[in-house]
A and B are shown apart, each in its own frame.
Chain A
Amino acid sequence: MQFKDQIDFIRQHMKRNKLRVATTILAATMGCAFLIVLASIGFGLHQTITDDVLDNNMVTEIEIAGKSGGETEVAPADIPAADLQKIREMEHVVAVVERNQPEAEAQTVIGNRSAYSRIVLSSMEEEQKAGFALSEGKMPSKAEEIVVGYHMAKQLLTEAEMEKEANGEEVDGFAGSLIGQTIELQLTPFRDEGEEAKESSSWEFVVTGIAKEPAKDWMTDNSVYADSSWGAVFNEELDLQQGYKYILVYADELQNVGGITDTLKEDGYYVYSVTEELGSMNVFFTALKAGLIFVGTIAVLIASIGIFNTMTMAVTERTREIGVMKAVGAQPKLIRKLFLMESAAIGIIGTVLAVAISFAISLLSNWLIPMIVLNSLGEDRPADFTLVISTIPWQLVVIASAISIGVAMLSGWRPARKATQIDVIQALRQEM
């Protein structure tokens, strides 16, 4: 029998039992939609958390927190320059940035305004390679030039403004652009408890650039980014200890971060990258998604009882017809194929409807639930938080379709086998 005729044949039979077939398809649809929607919550939450991690991190950044040195551990500050050079030469590494923070309290002063700051000493050339982003101005080209954090201007307050701010009043800070302004940087060495105040020293710098706004609203950047050569000057002038140093390795693309991280780990470095965070999260979410798919599959299995019942009824009702078909020369495998195709058709139609319904539910839940959740938080709600409740990737559609259609065919298997075993003589004796 040609395939087209087989399709026609099962279409005719399905039309004759419209109501029963429709309710079976409905059960298959509900089972499959339940599976997809349930698993989509796992995928949705995974996406929400992943997006949050990626938003809060420079995704191509790998932080080196030290190195294993046999019995002792090597701090970032003690990693030899030659080793760092080796890392710079690695494939897909675009920059290795060494950032130092001196052991001193820093205050930025411009006219009668001042602000407490964080000093970051680094190679500006290497920072530029790493993709240091500016909101305005340019990167420093001389040692006396600096970049300041995005919120520096707002933080530069007069004494009167500081008082107002302490009273909870709004203050504007420095009006106008800081680009081209000369600022004074006052450094005072940190002191231990009970220790006398140490003398401070000042240096003047010209602002050439303003750093890009941090990714999150709640982050404040009032740092001063100066050339790393100043480290030695500050240490000598103020007799400072070696400050806090951290090393950041930058990959060209996110997909290469994992490879670089693994290589660095093999070389004994203690590293942290966004892939590390995502990696441990992925394990958890993979387990969660597998669990949800498993629970959803139970719903599909329950629906399969309906398919089994419908197909068994179909075989019983059509015993005489099957007998006639066998009598006129239909092979048992053709009979089996026709019944399997019918149960597969129920599975396929149910799955197609389920996918469409699941996408609709997913869209609705992504619109409605975050609205309810965020509104219920009132004033406390985070301004830039995106909550994704449900995501349906193509992989989920493939998995759910395979499970649904597979289960539908399995439930049709026994009735189809029963159909092939029908005795022609007994079947022909049945009344119409």
Chain B
Amino acid sequence: MIKIRGLHHHFNIGKKGDQRQVPVLKGVTLEVSEGEIVAILGKSGSGKSTLLHILAGFMLPEAGSVMVNGKETSVLKEAEQADFRLQNFGFIFQNFQLMPGLSAFENVELPLKIKGMDEKERKLKVENLLQKVGLQEVAGHYPNELSGGQQQRVSIARALITDAPIILADEPTGSLDSETEKEILLLIQSLNKKLGLTFVIITHDEEVATVADRQYRLHDGELVKGEQRHAI
């Protein structure tokens, strides 16, 4: 499903004219199969977010190849990347990234609106999904009226609404307390089992990585294989 080969990337650090290059990814290679949960662990600044951004098409790698569902995404133009994301990826962010002016229902509905889906069809789909993630009661609430766990559930629902086969999660429990964290991780596991979704989770939290089928650790720009899944 996802094949990353020899990914290289660096950042320029320092003032203009006095910049130095800091490599963040040094030939990263990774394969993720359909229906797998893969966790990428790493300290702050280890390059794990850069890897996710390249995978999502938010930025282009300096070298290497990213194949998703048999398509080389690192050569796509901006508009093609956007279209590819809409069809293939769902996103869960650390700070939820919900639209403050939209209700929970409208936030989940947003990707379908972008997709151009008919209103009736859209409404039905969003209602069903909100019920699945236990948010039907707060569908009309705005993000500032929801708890952290509820906001993350809305964010997960938004990631799932387009039926994208791959969910990219960047520190999905980073803003949550330990109780809510467990709740969200259970939801991720359940969605993986029930819907066969593929998850790539970026985290610094060892606990979060326990839901993964496979764990990798990014260290000095290189990806090292870690432990296997064990129960939460």
Please report A residues at the B interface, Cβ cutoff 8 Å. 1-2, 4-5, 9, 12-13, 16, 320-321, 323-334, 423-425, 428, 432
Contact = CB atoms under 8 A, between A and B. Distances in A.
Contact of B82 (A5, A326, A428): A326
A331 B78 CA distance: 8
Given A1-B113, A328-B114, A329-B111, A13 B79 contact: no
B70 to A, nearest CB: 19
Contact of A329 (B83, B95, B97, B118): B83
A424 B56 CA distance: 11
Interface in B97-125: 97-102, 110-111, 113-116, 118-119
A326 B86 CA distance: 9
Nearest to A5: B113
B100 A329 contact: no
Given A13-B101, A324-B99, A328-B86, A425 B58 contact: yes
A432 B83 contact: no
B101 A16 contact: yes
A327 B97 contact: yes
Contacts of B82: 326, 329-332
B58 A333 contact: no
Contacts of B182: none
Contacts of B158: 328
Contacts of B99: 321, 324
B93 interface: yes
Leading 6 A-B pairs by shortest Cβ distance:
A329-B86, A424-B58, A329-B85, A328-B111, A5-B113, A331-B82
B101 A331 contact: no
Q: Identify the interface centre among A326, A329, A334, A425: most chain B CB within 10 Å of its CB.
A: A329
A327 B114 contact: no
A70 B95 CA distance: 94
Interface size class of B (residues with CB under 8 A): 20 to 34
Contacts of B113: 1-2, 5, 9
A136 to B, nearest CB: 74
Interface string B44-88: 000000000100101100000000000000000011001101110
A334 B59 contact: no
B91 interface: yes
B210 interface: no
Contacts of B53: 424-425
B59 A425 contact: yes
B215 interface: no
B162 interface: yes
Given A1-B116, A425-B53, A324 B97 contact: yes
B114 A332 contact: no
B91 A331 contact: no
A93 B164 CA distance: 79
A327 B91 contact: yes
Nearest to B118: A2
Contacts of B87: 329
11 contacts: A1-B113, A1-B114, A2-B113, A320-B97, A324-B98, A327-B58, A328-B111, A329-B82, A331-B79, A332-B82, A425-B58
Interface in B142-171: 158, 162
Contact of B78 (A12, A323, A332, A334): A332
Given A324-B97, A327-B85, A329-B86, 14 more contacts: A1-B116, A2-B116, A2-B119, A4-B119, A5-B113, A12-B102, A328-B85, A328-B86, A329-B82, A329-B87, A331-B79, A333-B79, A423-B58, A428-B97
B100 A432 contact: yes
A246 B198 CA distance: 100
B91 A328 contact: yes
A104 to B, nearest CB: 91
Contacts of B119: 2, 4-5
A5 to B, nearest CB: 5
Nearest to A431: B95
B83 A332 contact: no
A357 B187 CA distance: 59
A432 B94 CA distance: 13
A11 to B, nearest CB: 11
A343 to B, nearest CB: 19
B220 to A, nearest CB: 22
A2 B118 CA distance: 8
Nearest to B88: A329
Contacts of A331: 79, 82-83
Contacts of B102: 12
A252 to B, nearest CB: 59
